[in-house]
Structure 1
Amino acid sequence: MAVVVGTALAYAVAVNMTEPAPVSPYAAQSSTPPRTDGVHIAPRSEALTFARFHVNRELRLMRVDRYDNGVVSGVDITALQTSGEADPITMWQQSSYDAIAAATGAVVSVRAEELAVPFASTGAQIGMGGTYPDHAKETRMSRPFAFPKLLPAQRWNMDVPTRSFLLDYEVELGIVALAPLKAGEKAPSFGLVLASDYTDRDRLLRDIGTSDVNTGLPFSAAKSIVPALPVGALFVIPRDIRTFYKTLDLRLHVNDRLRQIARPKDLTWDIDRIVDESIARAKLDFPMGRNTVKLPIAADNTIPARTLILSGTTDGVVVRPPSGRQLFIGIVQWLVSLRWTTPGLIVEPTVREGHANGHFLQPGDHVVMRAEYLGVIDNRITP
């Protein structure tokens, strides 16, 4: 009887407490609003930078030399491409680094908001989780994993809806296959984009329940249900990919407050291991509603060209694992419900509080992701 009374009293106290708002470890580092009207462009000796734009509804390809005051300027190199729709990956397959770097053409300037998605992506991408040690620590992941994200790349300045989501942000380095990728073979080149990985933490918490987060299996639905995968307007092909990507610095602000700094040099898995580990998981089935899906790995066990690999995010996201208080409330409610075959009910208090406390992204919020050389993602959060 004493145990029951004690539990009841502890429960009464717990349900009247609240969780503190998550504090980004970067919040005190900068109060300066992020610049959204331009970035430095890498010297052509280090990387080629591309953007796509329309002229009379026809796609054209620009080799970018400057991005400033909201205007992207460079040389129209569409004529160098011998066939197909203007696209940096097609151009790369038909030409060479030096030929593209030396190409001449009409000088063009286009307002950034008029630029198209910088490459023709596939409809399914590969996401990585737990690849930054600090994010793995804050979310209690013990090892990295991969999951499918069933969305194409989308425009950098799209609106992102909250709907009934617990909407969370993630800034990531996007790695794009320029040719089919094979396990154990170091591809000579990759494309790079600034990328996002908006996530519904409601779906993720419910799908994880009490299962092992480190398999990555519960992640695909929560990562695909938010209809937004904005990428920066620039597509970058470095001359030396394995040196270049480790120099990058990616930052994310919400309402002008710094929330994330991701430095790809800190990735637990480098680019080549990310490729190998993704292919090694080709046969895994990831739950998606009543069905399952697999990673976008071809029948010949390669990652198809144009696949975007989201390399993972760093710490500073909103979500946190359920606290001891939330787990205690969830366990009590689960036991009292007599629905003992559905242990996922244990996370319900965490989900409910997430919807009530306003810590996740809300309509009217402004999310900006930025990286020198890679560009900007600028999203308004809508209902």
Structure 2
Amino acid sequence: MKPVLYIPLLTILILLALVFGVSEDPGRTNPISAEAAPLTPGILPVTEGFTFARAAGADGEILPLLVTGLSGAQVSAIDLSEHGADPAADLFAALRDVGARRLTALFHQAQGADGADLTQSYAWGSLLSVAGSGDRHVASGTNFIEHAEETNSQSVFNFPKFGPPTPPVTTVLHQEGALLDYEVELCMIFDRDIATIDDFDAAQKGLFLCGDFTDRAVLFRMIDVDNFDSGSGFSDAKSGPDFFPTGGLLVIPGDWESFVDNERIVTFRNEDLRQDARGGEMILDFRELTGQVLADATSTRFRYQGRAHTLIEGQEIARDQVLMSGTPEGVIFMPPTWRQMTRGVLRHLFSGGFLTGVSGYDSVVGSFIREEARSKRFLQPDEQITYASASMGKVIITVVAGEDGTAGQKTATTSPIESGQNDPS
């Protein structure tokens, strides 16, 4: 071989070594902008709103509770069924039945000397979801600026999310081959159906902490990367029996905008702080999201399990549906690196995939998914995710594997908040 040919050959070998010989760092993460002070959960003062919960009584009846305090893995609360609330009704009805003045008096009484006789302690794991009974909800994508940047999204979009809410201590099933990702969110429910912005303005609004899980492998295979708003992939990747963990505290604030703007939400992956934001960082607030959803009520572009769906049914957000805020920065997902894309292209060429009718795009996606699965960057069995907030409590989820997982199964109730490991520094 002539010496002059060594140089291009050597160059090719070096490039191949860079592409195939250098693996991606399995510990790489998206950067986050965390607040300096650790999160200190508490209960909203009654001058700003009321905090409610639900728990099962000894006879199986659902108890409506006025929450008066938090202490580690316990909440102190007043059983409102003893003060005029109908156990069969929702928590908006409890507020209406007992009345704001009486609830305020009960809250202050609970802080006094005879508070122990008025309240009971409930373990965090004994609380029920406050999300209601609906199994179809309205999710929002890339509604926080930094998350939009880390996912290369150009706009806020919505899609239907299917599946019942699970309680504040629960599990999520890790399927073989899944790339399971977390998202902490604010969630809003209403005391009525919402068909117009006037309905939104007139409605009483309840806020609670919630989460969203995503199988990124499904999303990578189905997403339209040029148009997230197409609805392709998101419902399939984010729906399922345990992909919607929800909190046990419902806050009905006097001023929902002020509450949302100031409320802080965080995610811990095991003991590591991975998301930290306030509701005021949302690009579209809940009123603007509602307007966007109602304006997109008739399109059937949204697909789930091979069937076409509208974003909402009957051109209204039903009172048993949840409106989700979207998530802040810090998710596990990171776009493919140039090395991953190059490896995918070369594998497509070397394997003869172009001769079998497999597109180069699908080959690159498949290669990327396999690499990410091998790296174990995404959630793995036995990991714990804790979503926590300033005024809406926490949600604790254990990742379980294969047939060992049961949706809604309760496991650990201790989080990094209780164990003192919530310092973002």
* SS at 2:170 equivalent: coil
Partner of 1:23: 29
Alignment counterpart, residue 202 of structure 1, candidates 179, 198, 217: 217
Kept in 2: contact 1:52–1:87 (CA 8 A): no
- Output the amino acid matched with 2:79: D
> 1:205 deviation in Å?
0.8
Kept in 1: contact 2:184–2:210 (CA 8 A): yes
> 1:152 deviation in Å?
1.6
Deviation digits for residues 187-235 of structure 1, max 9, x if unmatched?
2431111110011111111111655234343211000046331111101
Deviation digits for residues 225-265 of structure 1, max 9, x if unmatched?
46331111101100110111111111111121110002110
Deviation digits for residues 42-73 of structure 1, max 9, x if unmatched?
01110110111111211111111111132211
Looking at structure 2, the residues matched to 102 and 307 of structure 1 have their Cα atoms a distance apart, in angstroms, of 32
Partner of 2:254: 239
> 1:350 deviation in Å?
1.3
Partner of 1:42: 44
> 1:326 deviation in Å?
1.9
> 1:178 deviation in Å?
2.2
Partner of 1:70: 73
> C-alpha root-mean-square deviation of aligned residues, in Å?
2.9
Alignment counterpart, residue 388 of structure 2, candidates 353, 362, 370: 370
Looking at structure 2, the residues matched to 107 and 123 of structure 1 have their Cα atoms a distance apart, in angstroms, of 32
Larger gyration radius, structure 1 or structure 2: 2
Alignment counterpart, residue 154 of structure 2, candidates 142, 149, 171: 142
Q: Give me the identity figure in percent.
A: 26
- Output the amino acid matched with 1:198: F
Q: 1:8 to 1:337 in 2, by over 3 A?
A: farther
Deviation digits for residues 301-331 of structure 1, max 9, x if unmatched?
2111121112011111110122222222323
The reply to whether residue 357 of structure 1 matches residue 391 of structure 2 is no
* SS at 2:135 equivalent: coil
* SS at 2:371 equivalent: helix
Kept in 2: contact 1:158–1:378 (CA 8 A): yes
Deviates more, 1:194-203 or 1:341-350: 341-350
> 1:183 deviation in Å?
3.4
- Output the amino acid matched with 1:117: S
Alignment counterpart, residue 174 of structure 1, candidates 187, 212, 229: 187
Q: 1:274 to 1:205 in 2, by over 3 A?
A: same
5+ residue gaps, structure 2, are 1-6, 108-116, 402-425
Kept in 2: contact 1:125–1:152 (CA 8 A): no
- Output the amino acid matched with 1:66: G
The reply to whether residue 344 of structure 1 matches residue 362 of structure 2 is yes
> 1:15 deviation in Å?
2.8
Looking at structure 1, the residues matched to 48 and 37 of structure 2 have their Cα atoms a distance apart, in angstroms, of 31
Matches for 1:1-383 after TM superposition, within 5 Å: 10-11=15-16, 13-20=18-25, 21-26=27-32, 39-55=41-57, 56-79=59-82, 85-92=88-95, 96-98=99-101, 100-102=103-105, 106-164=118-176, 165-185=178-198, 186-188=200-202, 189-208=204-223, 210-225=225-240, 227-282=242-297, 283-295=299-311, 297-299=312-314, 301-334=315-348, 336-338=352-354, 339-340=357-358, 343-383=361-401
Deviation digits for residues 24-58 of structure 1, max 9, x if unmatched?
424987798x88xxx31001110110111111211
Q: 1:262 to 1:343 in 2, by over 3 A?
A: same
- Output the amino acid matched with 1:48: F
Kept in 1: contact 2:187–2:325 (CA 8 A): yes
Kept in 2: contact 1:193–1:234 (CA 8 A): yes
Q: What TM-score results when the alignment is normalised by the length of structure 2? A: 0.80
Q: What TM-score results when the alignment is normalised by the length of structure 1? A: 0.89
5+ residue gaps, structure 1, are none
Looking at structure 2, the residues matched to 124 and 360 of structure 1 have their Cα atoms a distance apart, in angstroms, of 26
> 1:115 deviation in Å?
1.3
- Output the amino acid matched with 1:310: M
Kept in 2: contact 1:147–1:216 (CA 8 A): yes
> 1:365 deviation in Å?
1.1
